[in-house]
A and B are shown apart, each in its own frame.
Chain A
């Protein structure tokens, strides 16, 4: 039985004492195995026993040399088992043993061990036989031999030194550091010859093939420089032509597939006598062979010839250096074994690079993957496209972790093996590094639920007042930071006549109060003064509050400061404030000038034309309709008189300045979806042009100032242009970022000082503390006399309404009144029109002569006005149903009777069809009161959460007769539990509870 070579070396001199002085011949055998045909089969056959069976069971990896000394032949056989064995393959790839390693790492586990043992064979053997399963020379063998030769040359000196210490070793062995320049032989198991050839022909052909293979092998090994004329550099030698060095196994030696042969025979036995004869020949040969094992043609003969030839040439040859005595061989071989197998002179890394150079490539590939993973992480940090944004760009902790996870997953799906833990660690480290060094984003959330876009360290450090408890953390280190989500909305003023872009609010005051204070159109209109907190305890504080409040009112609306804002005198404000606890809406005396359409126009013109106004400059770019039309049509047209104001994008030149890529990037960025909310009527119209032709036509009809053709021609290109214009919105850094306002800081101090004395959120049903807020979140304004509204034409001065939706709904209210009193009041209200009014005696409804009462019907007009983040507006005719009326169908007949008796959603899907679909929010309630002695008392209750509701405060808000009022709802709802964010999708949410106002007969003073 064969043993492990090392074991054999240790035990030989005991076991084989009798042969100690015999000169021995050493043959190495390497090659490839299959399950059914092992490379040692032929050798076992030669030795006529199952000598080589594999002894690797105790090894970590199945690479080992088996040794057997044949006393008959005085030959030592060394068999190298390695990577090509079925066991090794199963061990490497078929079981989970090295699961975490990649292909080349697995390979490298074996490769060095294999090559260094192969090297051992080449310095200890006289001949090395390669067994191939196929019938072709594997050119990888040449590469292996090159590696072996390299190793040999590297370790030559060392081996030489070690051997020199031993006295008995033949001199040649010492000099050459090897026993011989081994002779190479090759055995090829399978031959591709047709089975139906005759035995003689087959023999002849096999000889021919052997000759050709020999030629190829010689040529290739020569090319690989492993066979050289100079014996020092030559690794091995090939025999001359007299003794073949290539052996192709005869059919009678090849493993017999009995089953296959049987089937073949069965199928064709009688039909193909030639073939069967050939098979018979093979069988006979096989039989013959068993009888006379000396057949020169088979492998046994091949080995015998090899040994005989070698011995004959003997020590004299310059190819075969020495045939040592067994005892000397074991002595020397032990020394060589220890040196070569324990050689640590070359580092492991170097070895891997030498034998599995692919590992270097794997490493560089993995490195490239790591870089792409980091690039992936950084993508959203870098791709903003604008330098000043990139500097402030960051990830929140959640985003950071998500991104990091994605990058890690990418890495894990591409990097395999030993590099993975190392690279994963590196990725995490580098990404954390990137994040913490300037890309950590502020965690503040806007009141509409968007993250602040600034990095936590690169906030513009502007003192701004707009930090309520809920807008951001009130930490000292953060309060001076200006938050911005980078998102802007188009919002409408209190009265509904002007629209303006606004930044996503982070502070409650900004959201519900300051923004609305900057509009000119309703600045001076009569309004209801809600009760607010007054710091009475300290007089100075009181003054400072007033100063600051008024200043901030004027100056920090949307963060832009104005020098054009009309100054309201402090005294006037103070006085208003002092009285403000009394819930009175100023009586609209005749002295109150009713705004004329020109005034509205003027108000808008202020915004539209305020080019010289630093605050307005930014917005005006989007609002200057004329400029836009010029840009698009290259013509000047006086469009100013149009009753419908539209929010216009800035001059086209601005967009030209933006490179197209930038626009594309911004539009493509998921994060900036909300940007697209900002929109305009034209876009709406052009959107709808595709799917709603009817409305488009209607709109033309409605647009009386423009000829229909002109409208159509104009609107389409405007729409096209505006499709790309959203991208521009983010380009401009808000002016506020560069402004400072000392008063804000003082305001903040005030907030701190009086904390607990005021209501920090909107009045809410769950809070009954009696505290007042610092500012009103609601607004009730009177925009003028009731005749401002003409039901036939609908609203004329309100921008951005959905076509056919710009109507108020008539609402008849029935009242039981004291007849006489009513009549008297009616006369007071409308003395001049009495004649007309009473042309015929009026029949009193449901008159009760005893009580002196009757039932009177009074007519209101109401409109529930919704607005989406893009500024699109519409009225509803039923809860959750957009009002649509064709003017060609005559006056709108629909009434609001059912509407006011129903709960109405606060958010509902907007009519705009552009992605992403958004929800519109109920922002205004328009009320036109009749010319009759009645008072309408507002009491809106808004439920946006499951518990409690928001209201306007504890006092009633009464509206008097013959006026046009607008109740503006809060922009954001912040309750005791924090802000309620609007829905992100186009969905219905919250409700305005039914019967939000009551009507009663009020005697005229």
Chain B
């Protein structure tokens, strides 16, 4: 049961098998899911690839589900991208591992990436290495490399990246993004800019205050200027039509989403409620989401780096495969580990000296 968004008629030929839920794009064994090709058209070039990144538990999967057509009133099990299970939440664990994909009827390709630098995934890796008697001292380096590869991969294969955050804003996340884009620039040596949209999930009423929004938008602009990211795409609260924010940094892609309210089966939110709330610093989740679904597709679609023309869906997949293989082999990634583990070697020396 997937509800369809109504932007444009599907302009595709070829395979039209539609997915009922997201499937693996990148498998646990770090291979791309080749079966996916069956679902991709070899003529359609007017698709939009949107990827969600962000820390664990920031709401990436939920956001993508909503974007691909789910309704906040849907049951969790109806979500296209599986949201964090109760058990995972309660044990502070991740839900999504590697990358999941879903393609909706309007040929929006949605990619759900695992949480950035998730402590829980690293923990698993450390434990697994320990179990397998692999020198556990390698685990954090291995993990950093893997996180980096996933990010670099997302940078290259998406038109638009949605950075999901649940508070404003963790500099660790920003720094990780910026370091990765730096390596990406060194690796790909092109001027491709990927759209970056910062979506602030579970925003509180204080977060909605125009003055706060303005200051944050300015910060975001300052952080991502001169980077691989194009943060100025006009996808702002003002830009998508919320008059209160009309003149507040309207070009900065910064969207606020409040907490999804608990479901009330069989009931809809009375219309008058929204109107009553108008003067307050608060906007319903669904209200923003409804506009965002269409507006996000209006962001410019940067050409993929490997070609000068539009790629068909299948060509896109092939491009992604090639790039992933390149990331697997590239020495740049391996050497960039140094960025995160400067002292791993020096430590040992010092220790020896001291003792």
Contact = CB atoms under 8 A, between A and B. Distances in A.
B27 interface: no
Nearest to B202: A190
A881 interface: no
Given A133-B170, A213-B92, A139 B264 contact: no
Interface in A641-656: none
Interface stretch (B10-18, B65-73, B119-127): B119-127
B355 A136 contact: no
Interface stretch (A214-222, A528-536, A907-915): A214-222
Interface stretch (B236-244, B254-262, B316-324): B254-262
The A interface is mostly helix, strand or loop, or mixed, namely helix
A84 interface: yes
A301 B207 CA distance: 30
Nearest to B139: A223
Given A232-B355, A358-B179, A358-B339, A260 B282 contact: yes
Given A205-B90, A259-B282, A264-B261, A150 B126 contact: no
Given A139-B117, A195-B262, A259-B280, A150 B93 contact: no
A149 B344 CA distance: 11
A361 B127 contact: no
Contacts of B186: 361, 364-365, 368
Interface stretch (A266-274, A341-349, A448-456, A840-848): A266-274
Contacts of B219: 89-90, 93-94
A139 B119 contact: yes
B215 A257 contact: no
Contact of A135 (B92, B139, B262, B277): B92
B171 A84 contact: yes
Interface stretch (B100-108, B150-158, B288-296, B346-354): B346-354
A999 interface: no
Contact of A260 (B90, B140, B175, B259): B259
A159 to B, nearest CB: 13
A233 B137 contact: no
Contacts of A635: none
A230 interface: yes
Nearest to B143: A139
A836 to B, nearest CB: 76
B57 interface: yes
Contacts of B90: 193, 205, 208-209, 212
A136 B264 CA distance: 29
Given A34-B167, A146-B343, A260-B205, A357 B91 contact: no
Contacts of B264: 268, 271-272
B119 A192 contact: no
B30 interface: no
B338 interface: yes
A358 B181 CA distance: 11
A592 interface: no
A194 interface: yes
B253 interface: no
A622 interface: no
Given A133-B167, A208-B91, A257-B206, A219 B123 contact: yes
A103 B343 contact: no
Interface string B16-54: 000000000000000000000000000000000000000
Interface string A225-262: 10000101100000000000000000000010101100
A173 interface: no
Contact of B212 (A35, A142, A217): A35
Given A93-B223, A149-B347, A150-B350, A134 B55 contact: yes
A139 B206 contact: no
A84 B172 CA distance: 9
Most chain B CB within a 10 A radius of its CB, from A37, A190, A233? A233
B92 A212 contact: yes
B117 A209 contact: no
Given A140-B117, A223-B126, A267 B347 contact: no
A478 interface: no
A89 B171 contact: yes
Most chain A CB within a 10 A radius of its CB, from B183, B222, B273, B350? B222
B171 A212 contact: no
A150 B269 contact: no
B312 interface: no
B227 interface: yes
B334 to A, nearest CB: 14
A86 B216 CA distance: 9
Contacts of B58: 134
Interface size class of A (residues with CB under 8 A): 35 or more
Given A192-B89, A264-B261, A268-B264, A220 B55 contact: no
Contacts of A134: 55, 57-58, 166-167, 170
Interface in A65-88: 83-84, 86
Interface size class of B (residues with CB under 8 A): 35 or more
A143 B166 CA distance: 23
A921 interface: no
B301 interface: no
Most chain B CB within a 10 A radius of its CB, from A107, A134, A354, A417? A134
B145 interface: no
A336 B212 CA distance: 40
Contact of B350 (A139, A142, A154): A154
A139 B123 CA distance: 10
Contacts of A138: 117, 119, 170, 172
A935 B119 CA distance: 106
A910 B119 CA distance: 74
A196 interface: yes
A41 B126 CA distance: 34
A604 interface: no
Given A271-B264, A272-B264, A220 B354 contact: no
Nearest to B117: A139
A140 B175 contact: yes
Contacts of A57: none
B185 interface: yes
Contacts of A275: 262
A357 B339 contact: yes
Contact of B123 (A216, A255, A357, A416): A216
B281 interface: yes
B171 A136 contact: no
A511 to B, nearest CB: 45
A38 B226 CA distance: 30
Contacts of A233: 347, 350-351, 354-355
A414 B58 CA distance: 33
A224 interface: yes
A287 B264 CA distance: 29
A387 interface: no
Interface in A265-307: 266-268, 271-272, 275
Contact of A143 (B178, B261, B270, B340): B340
A32 interface: yes
B204 interface: yes
B230 to A, nearest CB: 14
A92 interface: yes
Given A357-B342, A358-B179, A267 B261 contact: yes
Contact of A94 (B117, B222, B340): B222
A225 B348 CA distance: 10
B56 interface: yes
9 contacts: A93-B220, A135-B57, A139-B118, A140-B175, A149-B343, A150-B350, A233-B354, A264-B261, A358-B339
Given A138-B117, A190-B166, A193-B89, 7 more contacts: A136-B56, A153-B354, A208-B90, A212-B92, A220-B122, A224-B140, A361-B182
